[in-house]
Amino acid sequence: MSYEPYGFTSSTGFTTLSFTGPYDPYARAPTPLRAGTLQNLHYEQVCVRNGMQRPHFFSWYRISLFSILGVICAISLAAPLMVTSAIKRFAYPVHHAELIQSAAHRYHVDPYLICAVIHTESGWDAGAHSKAGAVGLMQIMPATAQFLADGGQVSAREYPLTRLQQARENIEYGTAYLAYLQSQFSSRDEVIAAYNAGPTTVGSWKKKQDRGVFADVVEYVETKNYIIRVNQAYDAYKELYPDGIHD
């Protein structure tokens, strides 16, 4: 077995010592024998050649570097998801969340469905008007609102029909109408279709349904597309606001 001198140098901050003994690249520390300088230089060369332990400063440096790289990688992976979610929320916003939540609770209507209807009907434009005369966020017809007020579903004193285009009144009457349709039909698709085409028309379609899918008996192309669009918006709102809707 050969004996090689090796040791620390003062340039690394350690005491200048040299060691002599059998060279073992796997040994954790050599056995000190005598001091010197040339032997110390040889020891550093042996460390480099055989991957022996470096001062702790370099270990912490490597750990810090790898930690930083890990954080950068994690951010790089998460960033696209965060950006996608932000874009989707921009495409599917929520406004008047308190009004929606309050009306949804009062009439036992899914708030995600209310948001989906508003998104599809007006794109959250409170000033929207249709050629048929529908107004506001949920595009309520004045005659429909009058029907709900006459039937006692909505208090016209508390929610004046003259303010139908205002968000508070519009959401109240629109949600009450969804609740009324839910009492008439058994599925969400039927309720959505009735909101677009009217309950009488949907009732006539259902009479033609023979254990098939309701969409198969919908005769209006506009209503078929309306069902698809509202359901897409409904799914998007549930995905983007899993803990409940909020502004």
Task: Note whether 17 and 28 are within 8 A (CB).
Answer: no
Q: pLDDT, tens digit, for every residue of 153-167? A: 999 999 999 999 999
- What is the pTM (predicted TM-score) of this model? 0.68
Q: pLDDT, tens digit, for every residue of 76-95? A: 555 555 557 688 888 999 99
Burial class of 94 by CB neighbour count within 10 A (0 to 12, 13 to 18, 19+): buried
Q: pLDDT, tens digit, for every residue of 40-71? A: 545 455 554 555 555 554 555 566 666 776 66
Catalytic residue among 121, 169, 172, 190: 121
Judge whether 158 counts as a catalytic residue: no
**Predicted local confidence at residue 198, as pLDDT:** 97
Phi, psi values for residue 207, rounded to 5°: -65, -25
Higher-confidence position of 209 and 155: 155
**Predicted local confidence at residue 225, as pLDDT:** 97
Residue 30 clears pLDDT 60, i.e. is over it: no
Any idea which residue has 């954790």 for tokens? 28
**Predicted local confidence at residue 61, as pLDDT:** 57
Backbone angle region of 96, left / alpha / beta, with phi > 0 → left and psi within -120 to 50 → alpha: left
Among candidate residues 101, 82, 102, the one with its CA nearest the CA of residue 90: 82
Q: Distance from CA of residue 164 to its chain's centroid?
A: 33
**Predicted local confidence at residue 163, as pLDDT:** 98
**Predicted local confidence at residue 226, as pLDDT:** 98
**Predicted local confidence at residue 13, as pLDDT:** 46
Cα three-residue angle 18-24-25, rounded to 5 degrees: 95
Q: pLDDT, tens digit, for every residue of 93-115? A: 999 999 999 999 999 999 999 99
**Predicted local confidence at residue 88, as pLDDT:** 82
Average pLDDT over residues 132-140: 97
Residue 126 clears pLDDT 60, i.e. is over it: yes
Percent of the chain at pLDDT exceeding 70: 67
Partners of 6 in the beta sheet?
A: 19
Average pLDDT over residues 171-191: 97
Per-residue b/e over 126-165, b at no fewer than 16 CB within 10 Å?
bebeeeeebbbbbbbbeebbeebbeeebbebeebeeeebb
Burial class of 238 by CB neighbour count within 10 A (0 to 12, 13 to 18, 19+): middle
Residue 201 clears pLDDT 60, i.e. is over it: yes
**Predicted local confidence at residue 86, as pLDDT:** 81
Among candidate residues 90, 84, 95, 4, the one with its CA nearest the CA of residue 52: 4
Half-sphere exposure of 191 (CA within 13 A, CB side): 23
Neighbours of 214 (CB within 10 A): 18
Higher-confidence position of 231 and 29: 231
Q: How far from 130 is each of 10, 114, 127, 135, 165, CA to CA, in Å?
A: 86, 19, 10, 7, 12
CA distance 134 to 153: 19
Task: State the pLDDT confidence band at 176, using cuts at 50, 70 and 90.
Answer: very high
Average pLDDT over the chain reads 81
Residue 9 clears pLDDT 70, i.e. is over it: no
**Predicted local confidence at residue 242, as pLDDT:** 95
